[in-house]
Amino acid sequence: MTAATLGAVLAGCGGSSQAVSVCEAAVAERLPGRTYQLDADALRASAREDGEGVVFLQAPLVIDPGMTIEQRQTVECRVRGSDIISLNFIW
């Protein structure tokens, strides 16, 4: 997929910034009261069209960073417009 095509796809579903925001909000909803680090730039850089107007994003996620219970995972989101299609935490 060319950069122009990806840009058109992302523009059609609100742009990568909207998809990143939707994914970030979904992660926050799943981790209420927890400290975590999710790299919005990595999410934005990973954005790709996954068919039928769905944008796929993924990035590293650190839950409880710096603590003895720190967990490192990867988060994967599929977003259509302002809706989360799927949200996965991968160990």
Residue 72: predicted pLDDT? 96
When the candidates are 1.10.238, 3.40.50, 3.40.1620, 3.10.450, the CATH number that belongs to 3-90 is 3.10.450
pLDDT at 33: 93
pLDDT tens digits, 34-57: 999 999 899 999 999 988 899 999
Q: Rounded mean pLDDT of 55-81?
A: 96
* DSSP calls for 19-55: HHHHHHHHHHHHSTT--EEE-HHHHHHH-EE-STT-E
User: What's the rounded mean pLDDT across residues 3-12?
Assistant: 42
Say whether pLDDT at 10 is over 90: no
User: Which position has the higher pLDDT, 12 or 41?
Assistant: 41
